[in-house]
Chain A
Amino acid sequence: MLEDLFKIVKVRLDDDSSKNRKSKVSIPSNLLFKCPRCQAVVFMEDFDANQRVCTSCNYHARLTAPERLKLTIDKDSFIEYDSEMGSVNPIGFPGYEKKIEELQEATGLRDAVITGECTIKGQPCVIGVMDSRFMMASMGSVVGEKITRAFERASEKRLPVVLFTASGGARMQEGIISLMQMAKTSGAAARHSDQGLLYITVLTDPTTGGVTASFASLGDIVIAEPKVLVGFAGRRVIEGTIKQRLPDDFQSAEFLLEHGFVDMIVERRRMRRTLSNLLRLHRSDVCAGGGRQ
């Protein structure tokens, strides 16, 4: 229904694969990768060697935040911010603390985003990477605060910001406080922008809800990985409203490019180079006008 706006989106693709699984021979999950986009089955070894991109259809599968950092930034360049920050239960939501603890145990993360400073091929920036394993990277106080501080520190140090987004939206378990993180992070992005500083968003699978409706859409340059899901409303919410199945490419990176909401689609193997080049072109010593107050 319409009111399901900011729910934690369970991507329809996951459902499809679970339905299909019943009728087929079960596959040991660590040997083969079944692409949720094209249903092709490939050896996990090949899939991993291809940076977790489907060798058949080029779907860019989800990465953990540590995996993403490893692929993107210069070795040993990372200085993490706010590594100890953790969630509390501001509205007394039943079972929330327990869920957080279990996820911390399972993922080794404190919450759904890692932020810090790094260099990418020598170009310094503030970076943030969201991790969908942690409550579908929904935005509560911790995500909101860490993203806000990342922008504020970047403003102080006059650094660009690069954010890899993935999220099911605002975190229902923190009620209105999580909704307000949308305003808080967008405000921090605005102040950073007013300093003449660069902000690059990289939309990864899946970016939806309140994160799409706040900082994910506000980059000076918005990049997306191929075939990823990006949207505002949940797909099933819309399907429920219109009583029709939506086409497969609805809310894909390519759909957003076609409708003018993404600057470029960049493949994972070119991401590091693309980011470092864009960062270089916006350095105040390269571009005369850049960074001028």
Chain B
Amino acid sequence: MSKLTAWERMEIIRQKGRPTINDYIPMLFEEFYELHGDKLFGDDGAILGGIAVLDGRPVTVVAQVKGRSIEENKRTNFAMPHPEGYRKALRLMKQAEKFGRPVVCFIDTPGAFCGIAAEERGEGESIARNLFEMMRLKTPVVSVVLGEGGSGGALGLGVCDELCMLENAIYSVISPRGAASILWKDASKEKETANMLRITAEDLKEFGVADTIIPEPPGGAHKNPQLTAENMADSISAALHKLSDLRLEELLERRYEKFRKIGAFTE
């Protein structure tokens, strides 16, 4: 695997041709049926959901959708979900639980959307509810960070049994740009801040947050999307295989402990 700084990796994931979930779905899954809507308010284009077939077995897929064009980004709001997006995700996860299907989440967002309507409809509550419900969801959950894991908006699909990250993906409590503008009142210090914040897949593995790093071809996923998808499918299959051997109580205990043990303090 390549040795790159956080900033160099950010430059790779910002490449225009970086594959999105829409590119990967036909490469990863044998079949896919999209399911729309939260059945409460609307259908958020930033979240894609549905039933897919992986290795001959049905799984539920929930994903944040980056657009590949201006039109697509209009539809998907640049992958920044509103509350109805998180509620749609939760609805589909509960459906997966009912039918005993594993859930595979794909994280790729700058963050949850910051706007008037999002606040009116409870952006905070919708993410909180997902964390609460995903922690006790009675079916395996595997999350994969495709590119950008932006804060609470990413975590809303990130409470899982196994967290996989693509080699160049980042996952951060705050964007380097945001942190730079708070710390130095200067967003242009993004690069230094990125390298300081410990946001790469390697960093997250070291902290016990990420479990698996999925290799990308030299130069990044866009150099060979098919190969990246194959690597990803291998990691997801391996994770699901491992999790399927666990009894439900073990699975839930393990998931709780995965997050329970994260923290650094003295006493």
Contacts and interface: CB of A to CB of B under 8 A. Distances in A.
A180 B178 contact: no
B132 A190 contact: yes
B136 A182 contact: no
B266 interface: yes
Contacts of A217: 122, 124-125, 128-129
A217 B131 CA distance: 11
Interface in B148-168: 150-153, 155-156, 158-159
A213 B151 CA distance: 11
A141 B153 CA distance: 20
Contact of B112 (A90, A176, A181, A232): A232
B2 to A, nearest CB: 21
Interface in A56-76: none
A210 interface: yes
A254 interface: no
A6 B203 contact: no
B14 interface: no
Nearest to A142: B265
Contact of B173 (A175, A186, A242): A175
A242 B199 contact: no
A91 B196 CA distance: 8
B4 interface: no
Contacts of A92: 196, 198
Given A86-B265, A232-B119, A251-B119, A186 B128 contact: yes
Contact of A232 (B123, B158, B265): B123
B265 A85 contact: yes
A93 B183 CA distance: 11
A241 to B, nearest CB: 6
Nearest to B187: A1
Nearest to B154: A179
A197 interface: no
Interface residues of A, number: 70
Given A7-B182, A170-B173, A186-B132, A261 B125 contact: yes
Contact of B118 (A88, A215, A233, A234): A233
A172 B120 CA distance: 26
Contacts of A238: 114-116, 119
25 contacts: A1-B178, A4-B178, A5-B178, A7-B179, A7-B182, A87-B266, A91-B196, A94-B196, A172-B173, A175-B197, A180-B209, A181-B263, A182-B152, A183-B131, A183-B135, A184-B259, A186-B128, A186-B159, A188-B260, A190-B135, A191-B136, A212-B128, A213-B156, A231-B124, A232-B119
Interface of B: 80, 110-116, 118-125, 127-129, 131-133, 135-136, 150-153, 155-156, 158-159, 171-175, 177-179, 181-182, 187, 196-199, 203-204, 207, 209, 255-256, 259-260, 262-267
